Amino acid sequence: MRVVRTIAELKTELSRKKNEGHEIGFVPTMGYLHEAHLRLVDRACQENGTVVMSIFVNPLQFGPNEDFDRYPRDIERDKKLAEERGVDILFCPETKEMYPSPLSVTVQVKEGTDVLCGRHRPGHFDGVATVVLKLLHMVEPSRIYFGMKDAQQVAVIEKMVSDLNIPVTVVPCETIRENDGLAKSSRNVYLSEQERRQAPALYESLVQGAALINEGEDRPEKVIEKVKDMIEAKTDGEIDYVELLSYPDLKPVESIEGRVIIAAALRFEKARLIDNITLEASRKAAAAY
């Protein structure tokens, strides 16, 4: 595995691979790798001749009171995990390499950001879209891989790629979970023992919401009420939101039909957890991801 820290080095390595006829698979991350990141690498290895992973904690997507400075980092551990899993090129730029001067042009996401996490994090998805667009220009991959735990992020990136005619395929991958259902996340390390025991209730509540839809419930407010009641009964955390929207448009629905997302965010003392289920609403059993 080649570890590169500058855009020039990255371009040189990628030029060599592309000249050899390799398709490039790209896995962008903020590091502190866990199994969900590595499953994205597995998928990328299956579908491409060369796999690039980036590790960059992007300051543009953190608000003034968010956890940029304390976001978990362990680059030596990440290098080892990435190499063992099959990453060919690991791109680890410093902030000055990505943003050598204040940006005069950024991406502004106009739709799909006033719901879910976007409602509580103004400017967050502008920062995500800006850094992903920069990375796409640097790597020029055939495919880019994202986990569906961050389903709103996936929807935003898919729309950006479509709207701006970027020649890349966005590959959404299923959420990877602990044995008890908790979605794997770098921020799970901040949970206390008691919070960790309670945390699986977030996913359990979403499963119950999906089951209600599968049983024929078509009123969004009833599903949301069910999810909220279960979270409040089983955790001491504070609910940031529970929402049911169309997917990937992320629009409110009056009646549940077609592809929808049930999503929730739960705030504990030092960790904010998000999770979701997308499903095809019909009178038959729905397929959930």
Q: What is the DSSP letter of 184?
A: P
- Contact between residue 218 and residue 249 where contact means Cβ atoms under 8 Å apart: no
60 in a labelled binding site: no
153 in a labelled binding site: yes
Strand partners, 280: 259
Surface-to-core class of residue 69, CB atoms within 10 Å of its CB (0-12 exposed, 13-18 middle, 19+ buried): exposed
36 in a labelled binding site: yes
234 in a labelled binding site: no
Q: Is 124 known to be catalytic?
A: no
Strand partners, 252: 245
37 in a labelled binding site: yes
| Chain length of the chain | 289
184 in a labelled binding site: yes
| CA angle, residues 155, 157, 158, in degrees to nearest 5 | 65
The Cα-based distances of 53 to 105, 152, 154, 235 in angstroms read 25, 21, 17, 36
147 in a labelled binding site: yes
30 in a labelled binding site: yes
150 in a labelled binding site: yes
261 in a labelled binding site: no
Print burial letters for 112-146: b (CB count within 10 Å at least 16), e (below 16).
bbebbbbeebebbbbbbbbbbbbbbebbbbbbbbb
209 in a labelled binding site: no
15 in a labelled binding site: no
Distance CA 145, CA 242 (A): 26
Pairing of β 24-29 and β 50-55: parallel
Catalytic option among 37, 120, 124, 137: 37
CA pseudo-torsion sign 240, 244, 246, 252: negative
Residue set of the binding site for (R)-pantoate: 61, 153
Residue set of the binding site for ATP: 30-37, 147-150, 176, 184-187
Residue set of the binding site for beta-alanine: 61
Residue set of the binding site: 30-37, 61, 147-150, 153, 176, 184-187
Catalytic residues: 37
